[in-house]
Structure 1
Amino acid sequence: MRVVIAECQVDYGGRLTAHLPMARRLILVKADGSVSVHADDRAYKPLNWMSPPCTMTVLDADEAALEATTADVDPRITQVWVVRAHSGDTLQISIGEIELDYTAELGVDPGLQKDGVEAHLQQLLAENPSAFGEGWSVVQREFMTAIGPVDLLCRDPAGSYVAVEVKRRGEIDGVEQLTRYLDLMNRDPLMGEVRGIFAAQQIKPQARTLATDRGISCLVVDYDALRGLDNAEDRLF
């Protein structure tokens, strides 16, 4: 991973355009090829980013000036990073004064270890896709994306893909995690439109509100019922 703190200007071009004026920011370049630009707020969410697979070309100030489409080039710019995705989108980071430039090898990460209940809940849902509704099927558990595994990749009765994030307790962080997976998966033309389900034993109101706002469905899962320990027909009320 490469960590850079520098004055920078950021321009995103492609399906949408975005511009960040020159300011001091944190830039992360990860081993998977992803590049993200962060401010000193907004928790972990970057201001702009490019997900892998992508390539990065570094131009010095003179090369950048020759390729510039306008004559107005900020004299503070010392180099320009041009990050290109396979989709044709580009992320151009114009670098000014660099305060920190550090590279470290993190090695292979073992991944998030789910607690016993959460892991078992994921397994039970995989074995009982009817919990999502009639006609549902599970394509794969731990479906790997470039930023981590989706707990369950399912198909609904219409044959559309659905990404399911499973938590014991549903909070905002889980919704954010699923949002990132969906953003990446929906860029894959082979998958078509992928929607999401946030499944948990309990879902906090704030998490439900955020999920609804982002078009993600919520499912409260009865753990005991899935284990066959709670038969609805045996209940008095």
Structure 2
Amino acid sequence: MRLVIARCEVDYAGRLDAHLPLATRLIMVKADGCVAVHADGGAYKPLNWMNAPNRLVEEEDRWVVTSPKGETLTIRLHEVLSDTAVEMGVDPGLQKDGVEAHLQVLLAERPHTMEDGLRLIRREHLTDIGPVDLLCHGADGATVAVEVKRRGDIDGVEQLTRYVEFLRRDARLGEVRGLFVAQQVKPQARVLAADRGLGWVEVDYDELRGIESDVLRLF
């Protein structure tokens, strides 16, 4: 992990253009190559970012980050106030709460409830950037990375995006696509998943456990 605090300007060029005027910001570079620019506020969400894989070129007064899709993030450095690098090692991943962990087990036993013809390859498929909840084989022949959440928000979509991009580097897996699964997928997460080319599906925890829903039905 590299953390740089600097007075900088930031320009993004890709699906749209965006400009951040001169200000003091935190630039975060993660071990997987992800680059994120943060303000001193706004909780966890960066002002702009570039997901891995990408290429970072450092010049004397600027950084240029380029993605395989041709997007560019240009950070013009006016003054570097701090530059720190820390080796954090491999993270064990988020420990799921009881409901989320049990949901993952139930879905592993019933992969067809997420998608017709889906078959489980393995649970907790380990990668260098963390474990993929469920690795499956789709009816279309693709390898399907499944991220399971109790409540699905944009953080979960970002996490699945990283896993899918990383797994696509392994030619042995063939075509790789992602499926975001939760009891409830928030509207913003649905939009981001569609933008990233990921599928999403909502599942009923009680139905998976064999408990009849208390919602009134006509038939």
* 1:100 maps onto 2:82 in alignment: yes
Residue 127 of structure 1 and its aligned partner are, at CA, apart by 1.7
Q: Which amino acid in the other structure matches residue 91 of structure 2?
A: D
Q: Counterpart of 1:4?
A: 4
Q: State the distance in 2 between where 1:192 and 1:214 align.
A: 19
Contact 2:148 / 2:182 at 8 angstroms: preserved in 1? yes
Q: State the distance in 1 between where 2:147 and 2:120 align.
A: 13
Give RMSD over aligned pairs: 4.2
How many aligned positions are there? 212
Tell me, what secondary structure is at the counterpart of 1:142? strand
Q: Which amino acid in the other structure matches residue 159 of structure 1?
A: G
Contact 1:136 / 1:157 at 8 angstroms: preserved in 2? yes
Q: Counterpart of 2:158?
A: 176
Contact 1:198 / 1:219 at 8 angstroms: preserved in 2? yes
TM-score, normalising length: structure 2 = 0.69
Q: Which amino acid in the other structure matches residue 2 of structure 1?
A: R
Tell me, what secondary structure is at the counterpart of 1:173? helix
Task: Give the alignment partner of residue 133 of structure 2, picking from 132, 151, 155.
Answer: 151
Q: Counterpart of 1:141?
A: 123
Q: Where do residues 5-44 of structure 1 align in structure 2 (5 Å cutoff)?
A: 5-8=5-8, 23-24=22-23, 25-30=25-30, 32=31, 34-40=33-39, 43-44=44-45
Q: Counterpart of 1:126?
A: 108
Q: Which amino acid in the other structure matches residue 131 of structure 1?
A: T
Q: Which amino acid in the other structure matches residue 152 of structure 1?
A: L
Contact 1:166 / 1:198 at 8 angstroms: preserved in 2? yes
Q: Counterpart of 1:188?
A: 169
CA deviations over 1:23-44 (Å, ceiling 9, x no partner): 44422233x2525140426953
- For structure 1, the 5+ residue unaligned runs are 62-76
Change in Cα spacing, 1:21 to 1:207, as seen in structure 2 (3 Å) is: closer
Q: Which amino acid in the other structure matches residue 201 of structure 1?
A: Q
Q: Which amino acid in the other structure matches residue 188 of structure 1?
A: R
Contact 1:3 / 1:26 at 8 angstroms: preserved in 2? yes
Tell me, what secondary structure is at the counterpart of 1:123? helix
* 1:47 maps onto 2:48 in alignment: yes
Q: State the distance in 1 between where 2:49 and 2:152 align.
A: 27
- For structure 2, the 5+ residue unaligned runs are none
Larger radius of gyration: 1
